[in-house]
Amino acid sequence: MTEYASLLALVPLLPLFSALILLFSKLPKLWISIFAVGSVASVALISLFFNVIFWQQSDFVLTASLGTWINIAQLKINFGLYLDPLSLVMITIVSGVGALIHLYSTGFMYQDNDLKRYFTYLNLFVSAMLFLVLADNLLLLYLGWEGVGLCSYLLIGFWYQDRKNNLAANKAFLMTRIGDTAMAIGLFLLFTQLGTLDIQEIQIKAHAVWSLNNDNNTMASLCCLLLLAGAVGKSAQLPLQNWLPDAMAGPTPVSALIHAATMVTAGIYLIARNSQLFQLAPDVLYLVALIGTFTLLLGASAAMVQTDLKRILAYSTISQLGYMFLALGVGAGASAVFHLMTHAFFKALLFLAAGALIYSLHHEHNIFKMGGLLKKLPVVAVSFAIGCAALASLPFTAGFFSKELILAQVIASGHSGLWWAAVLGAFITAFYSARLFFVVFLGQTQLSPNARPTKSMSLALVILSVLSLFGGIHPEGLKSLMPQLDTDGLSTLQHWLPIILPFIAISLAWWLFKTKRFGKPVPAFMQGVHQLVKSGWAFDRLYQTIIVSPFNTLCQVNKDDFIDLFYRLIEKTSGRLHMVFSKFQNGQLRRYNASLILFCILAFAWFISGELML
């Protein structure tokens, strides 16, 4: 088994080498794209090869090590890679979807003269994500985690001339950084409690130490809470989710890769990877489910009222991630990862199709300015339709299998309240995906496309459409890794409702589209609610008022360092003291005589006072 170790080591290093080569070389555009796409494609091939080898076995482990990193007293950390079914699924998604998106962006970004910088960042991102997914210890995972955050910051702010992009990039990096710091504190707690940061050892030791006496489960739940905070930050869940819609400022393939398929799923991977640890803290698991539900409702409702094409997809990503968190929360880790896979396929497809749309409608984002493009852009229309179908989880699409599985798991785990919220979410998802499709592609055309998507873009779209349709195969290895709940005890209502709902939602959307009510302004009394929901439930304004502006005013108040004022005060007083004493030096001889006598009097007075006190 070890001869594959060197192959495994290649997986994260290949994109890293190609990124370095691109950084330091002066290649023509063609060679740049060949290098970039080649490296990620070869990683995709390797992961396919691993899939083929480990197809039958359900519990295999492949490790590789790239050398020691830190080795002091108890802290032994090395660059170890760990491949098991979960990380196999993850590297297949990352490299597969990544390769397709690289292929797509060779076409999309061709005119941009900063292509070299673009592909360097993209390759760096893929290698960081692979490090994250393959890390065998939490510190290397944290390295990948921050690397991914950095690359997303660089790529969001790729078009740096525009002030808006930079602010969006800063916002993204800072909010994920808050989550990362919480996770780092979790790491410290884990290390001080269990003495190791190796993921597998943590699971074993945690069970040994904390399950014995269930009184200090608080420590276990504290660790899980902190890791959850990291996951929430990275996967844009409830408290820290309003950076994702602004992250759409980056190029569309970037949004497809980072903010749909790979980076945002890192949080789910973290919780899935430490599932045994989370089992020790049932209350934290329930919290995960709650966060998932609330986020999915928030995302779905916000997506329903957006007008910007990419912001709709961003909010829909938030809500789908909410589903995955819900699945994790109820203990259905395998179905969460399965939904993650299918979501990667159809969301990447939707983003790339949207990119093609924007590419051909000379960078128009507002959906109400588009219309009737079915005839003009057939490939984009078909792929967009398949994507929306999978998103709405119409039967026989990949989305259908994974979402139904999650809903079934939720019922099996007995959380009926959460189930009803999930079903409502599914209904709204179907509604807004249908609304999106009808508004953009049916009705009379307002803008006529001036450029057609290139061959490489169409190829990527076709492959992704196929995957979204037939990608719904549940990977075997996952089932063994994380226990499944048996889903045969469902009532008929619970079985058939999620299947019928999408059709009702689509017909409602069709009715509204037909009566031209979509583009119209909302009636007066609904105006406030509409604005609230449109701005993502006003989280931006909330954080602005409680955190950003107080911090800003606090710093501005202390702009020139009140401690420095203290030293300037000393400077002034000594200057004034100098003036006081030099006033005595006024050259009067009689005053000098008096000073002599003054000494006598003072000394004598001191003596007398000393005497009297005795």
Partner 1 sequence: MIPISWVFMLSLSLFVIGLFGVLARRNLLFILISLELMLNAVVILFIAASRYHSASIANSDGQIMYLLILTLAASEIAVGLSLVVHMYRQHHHLDIDKLNKLRD
Partner 2 sequence: MTLFILLLMPLLGGLLAWYSERFDADLPKKIALLSLLLCWLPLIPLLSSMPFDASSLPNSQWLIDESYPWIPFFNINAHLALDGLSLLLILLTLLMGLVALSSAWHEITKRTGLFYLNLLWTLAGVIGVFLAIDLFLFFVFWEVMLVPMYFLISIWGYEQRHYAAVKFFIFTQAGGLLMLISLCALVGIHYQQTGILTFDYLILIQNPISGDLAFWVALGFTIAFLVKLPALPFHSWLADAHTQAPTAASVILAAVLLKTGGYGIIRFVLPLFPQASIQLAPFMMLLGVIGIIYGAMMAFVQTDLKRLVAYSSVSHMGFVLLGCFALNIYALQGAIMQMLAHGISTSALFVLVGMIQHRYHTRDLNKLGGLWLNLPKLSAFGLFFGIASLGMPGLGNFVAEFLILVGSFEQYPILTIFAASGLILAAVYSLLLIYKTFFGPIKRPHDSKITDTNTKEWCTLISMCFILIYLGLHPQPFFDLVPITLMKLNFIAADIGALL
Partner 3 sequence: MNVNYYPAFILMCGALMILIQLCFKRSHITSYLISGLSLFLALLTQLFLQNHADTSDVLFVLNAQTSFVSLLLLMVVGLIWAQLYHWLKTINEQKEEYYLLFLFTTIGGLIMVSSNHFASFFLGLELMSLSFIGLIAYCGPDQKAQEAGIKYLILSALASAFILMGAAILYLQFGSLSFSNLMPNTSSQILPPWAIITAIIFIFTGLFFKLSLVPCHLWVADLFEGAPLVTAAMLATLSKLAAFIILWRLVTLGHWQQYPIIIDILSMVAIASMFIGNFLGLLQKNLLRLMAYSSIAHFGYLLIVLLLINNNAIEFSSQSFNTQTLFFYLVAYLFTLVGVFSIFMQLPKIKTLDDLAGLFWHHPVIAITLMLLMLSLAGIPLTLGFMAKFYLVMAAVSQQLWLVLSALVLSSIIGLFYYLRVIMAMLKTPADELKLKEINSSGSSLSLNILILFLVIGFGVFPSSLSQFIQQISG
Contact residue for partner 3 among 455, 587, 612, 613 (CB under 8 A): 587
- Regarding 75 and contact with partner 2 (CB under 8 A), the answer is yes
Contact 151, 157 (CB under 8 A): no
Q: Give least dist CB 582 to partner 1, A.
A: 4
Indicate which of partner 1, partner 2, partner 3, none lies near residue 185 (CB less than 5 to 8 Å, by partner kind).
partner 2
| Identified binder of partner 2 from the candidate list 196, 203, 293, 494, rule CB under 8 A | 196
Query: Residues 274, 359: contact at Cβ < 8 Å?
Result: no
| Residue (143 or 385) nearer to partner 2, CB | 143
Nearest CA among 141, 92, 95 for reference residue 122: 95
Task: State in angstroms the smallest separation of the CB of 599 from partner 1.
Answer: 13
Which residues in 169-188 contact partner 2 (CB under 8 A)? 170, 173-174, 177-178, 180-181, 184-185, 187-188
Angle (CA) 534-249-528 rounded to 5° is: 10
Q: Which of 55, 547, 588, 608 binds partner 1 (CB under 8 A)?
A: 588
Judged by beta carbon distances under 5 to 8 A according to partner kind, the member of partner 2, partner 3, partner 1, none in contact with residue 607 is partner 3
CB environment 123-135: b (16+ within 10 A), e (fewer)? bbbbbbbbbbbbb
Shortest spacing between CB 573 and partner 1, in angstroms: 19
Phi, psi of 466 (to 5 degrees): -60, -45
- The two tokens of residue 192 are 């001080």
Nearest to 325 by CA among 229, 198, 429: 229
Q: Which is nearer to partner 1, 451 or 603 (CB)?
A: 603
Please count the residues of this chain forming the interface with partner 1, following the rule CB under 8 A: 11
Q: Cα 584 to the chain's mean position, in Å?
A: 73
Does residue number 212 form part of the binding site for partner 2 (CB under 8 A)? no
Residues numbered 559-578 forming contacts with partner 3, rule: CB under 8 A: 574-575, 577-578
Q: Is 589 in the site for partner 1 (CB under 8 A)?
A: yes
Give 225's contacts (C-beta < 8 A, 6+ positions apart).
186, 281, 284, 287
Q: Where are the alpha helices (H) located in 195-281, listed in sequence order?
A: 199-212, 217-234, 243-246, 252-256, 266-273, 275-279
DSSP H or E run through 34: helix 29-53
192 forms part of the interface with partner 2 (CB under 8 A): yes
Q: Which listed residue (67, 521, 523, 587) binds partner 2 by CB under 8 A? A: 67
Query: Taking a C-beta distance cutoff of 8 angstroms, is the pair 322, 293 a contact?
Result: yes
Answer with the entry of partner 1, partner 3, partner 2, none that 599 interacts with (C-beta below 5 to 8 A by kind): partner 3
Q: How far apart are CA 298 and CA 321, in angstroms?
A: 11
Contact between 58 and partner 2 per CB under 8 A: no
Q: Using CA atoms, how far apart are residues 581 and 190, in angstroms rounded to an integer? A: 64
DSSP string, 441-480: HSS--SS---SPPPHHHHHHHHHHHHHHHH--PPPHHHHH
Task: Pick the closer one to partner 2 by CB: 76 or 369.
Answer: 76
Binding site for partner 3 (CB under 8 A): 574-575, 577-578, 581-582, 584-585, 587, 589, 591-593, 595-600, 602-604, 606-607, 610-611
Binding site for partner 2 (CB under 8 A): 67-75, 139, 142-143, 146-147, 150, 153, 157, 160-163, 166, 170, 173-174, 177-178, 180-181, 184-185, 187-189, 191-196, 205, 208-209, 551, 554-556, 558-559, 561, 563-564, 567
